[in-house]
Amino acid sequence: MLEGAKKENICINQIIKEKTEEVEVENNVIIPDAKPDILSAINTNCTVCIYKKEVMDGKIRIDGSLILYIMYLPDNQAETIRTINTSLDFTQILDIEESRENMALDCNIKIKGVECKVLNGRKVNIKATMIMDIKLYSNDNVELITGIENDNCIQVLTDTMDINSLVGRGETQVSAKENLAIDNIDEIAEIMKIDLSIINRDIKISYNKVLAKADLYVKIMYLTEDGRINIVSDKIPVMGFIDIQNISEDSICEVSYNIKNVVVKINNTESHGIYIEVPIELVCTAYEKKTINVIQDLYSTKEDVSFENKIVKAMSEKKITKNVLNVDEQIQIPEIIGHKLYDVEVNPVIINQNISKDKVIIDGNILLKFIFEAENSKMINIRNVEIPLNFSTEIQGINKNDSVNSRMDVVSQDFIIGQNGTIDCKISLEYEINTSSGRTINLIDNLNVQELSKDKSYSMIIYFAKQGDTLWKIAKKFNSTVEDIVEVNNIEDSDKIKIGQQLFIPKYINKKSA
């Protein structure tokens, strides 16, 4: 290594693999003895829990469970609608050639659909299709040579660039707990379905800690002992401190919320409500914007310099853009006239993300599932509706090859039934768009300096510029300096030379030592 080389260590964050995988989880479920035989399935509600994520050489592993509530029509007309609560454990091992043990993994799982097939009166087959969005990235400490001190014969070509260097990654476990009060007249027979979502996400940074705050929105549909269907909902605060050393208020933070389990207990006596407890894992990754000076090339006018080029890729121009989208649409469901609307499940789905002229354009659908009273008041009807979703948001400087990851949360919803089955749908979506660029960095590695291997005795040559020439390339080729060529040839702009331009190249006179 050359003496006087200035070095700096930085943590380079590089996205190794982004992948969307569609997988299926399938198993048979037995109807509990206390429940009546099943005639047909009406609705299946599903919550995804992730227990463990593991990165190995050449593959990743994800362990989790699907918590299911299956509403069904009993094989007995005297019975009202009933529900089965069960869970399906899953282990998914995905082959990713670039995967290495020390890499970080982010995985977001959404349910595409659940099929419930009745095999006989006491057994059903469940097949759930999951969409797994996977992001695998490495965090490598890299040594940069940023300058050369005390050696005037060394000529250095540098490039200044901005990158997003990793500050740190941390996690913590929290638990959202609440007793949801129900009407005094309600005696709960069973839970029919549970909807969970994380909304109102926010962070605050101070004293080497990230305070992650959000609300867990809980909505529970239940059946009473006298055959009525009711809904109870609430927002449960979620808050946790995540330790990350050297973090500052200027850091860019990504926080993910992973539901690990759902515990529900019915209390018809003392507190008269439904107790729910949801363990949640909070994971924060923090980045800082860092300006670095990188030596792209170098040579000496008096010595032989050798080195290797090392190419690394880094993240840059990372931005997190948040906004709210309000959707106001009217739809027609004539069969709902005169019947009670129990619930509407709202599921925004992103299908395409395109980049065009400093904008991210998002196409998708809002999937609505209307659950309402049937002609037979002991039963329910379900109607599925899609509302097309198309919007754009400005992100200055974004390029078509940049990485884009988006998420949408439903923060409020309101459905007003009018005449002739017209329903006015008012939905408020909070969306977050996470973008970043990939930056290629050419690093100087294994730098060595030796005595000149041959005589170089000429002091001036005449050279005619060719296609692709720069003053740096010409100076290096003839063992001169850019400054001397500019001075001798009275060049005003060192970045502009013409093909065929005659240049006088001053040359240092060096003799190989005896």
**pLDDT over 90 at 1, yes or no:** no
Q: What is the pTM of this model?
A: 0.86
Two tokens, residue 46: 């599903």
How many of the other CB atoms lie within 10 Å of CB of 205? 18
DSSP class of 474: H
Phi, psi angle pair for 473, to nearest 5°: -65, -40
pLDDT digits (tens, 9 = 90+) for 360-369: 999 999 999 9
Percent pLDDT > 70 in the chain is: 95
Two tokens, residue 28: 């048979």
Confirm if 262 and 276 have CB atoms less than 8 A apart. Answer: yes
Confirm if 27 and 157 have CB atoms less than 8 A apart. Answer: no
Provide the pairing of β-strand 273-300 with 252-259.
antiparallel
At residue 2, the pLDDT reads 58
Is domain 454-506 classified as CATH 3.40.50.1370? Answer: no
Percent pLDDT > 90 in the chain is: 60
At residue 514, the pLDDT reads 30
What is the distance between the alpha carbons of residues 417 and 335, in angstroms, rounded to a whole number? 12
pLDDT digits (tens, 9 = 90+) for 257-266: 999 999 999 9
* CA-CA-CA-CA torsion sign (73, 77, 79, 81): positive
Residue range 374-393: average pLDDT? 88
User: What CA–CA distances, in Å, run from 233 to 36, 193, 205, 219?
Assistant: 28, 12, 31, 4
Confirm if 141 and 95 have CB atoms less than 8 A apart. Answer: no
Confirm if 117 and 128 have CB atoms less than 8 A apart. Answer: no
Give me the residue label for tokens 């605050």: 204
Rg (CA), the chain: 32
Confirm if 424 and 125 have CB atoms less than 8 A apart. Answer: no
Two tokens, residue 193: 């379905």
What is the distance between the alpha carbons of residues 149 and 164, in angstroms, rounded to a whole number? 27
At residue 459, the pLDDT reads 67
**Domain range annotation of the chain:** 17-138, 166-292, 314-446, 454-506
Q: Which residues contact 488 (CB under 8 A, 6 or more apart)?
A: 504, 505, 506
Return the percent helix, strand and coil in the chain, to nearest 5: 5, 70, 25
Two tokens, residue 259: 């539901």
What angle (nearest 5°) sits at the alpha carbon of residue 448, between those of residues 447 and 454? 135
Task: Give the three-class secondary structure for 388.
Answer: strand
DSSP class of 326: E
pLDDT digits (tens, 9 = 90+) for 150-165: 566 788 888 888 999 8
Q: Name the least confident of 70-74, 424-428, 443-447, 481-485.
A: 443-447
What is the distance between the alpha carbons of residues 475 and 506, in angstroms, rounded to a whole number? 9
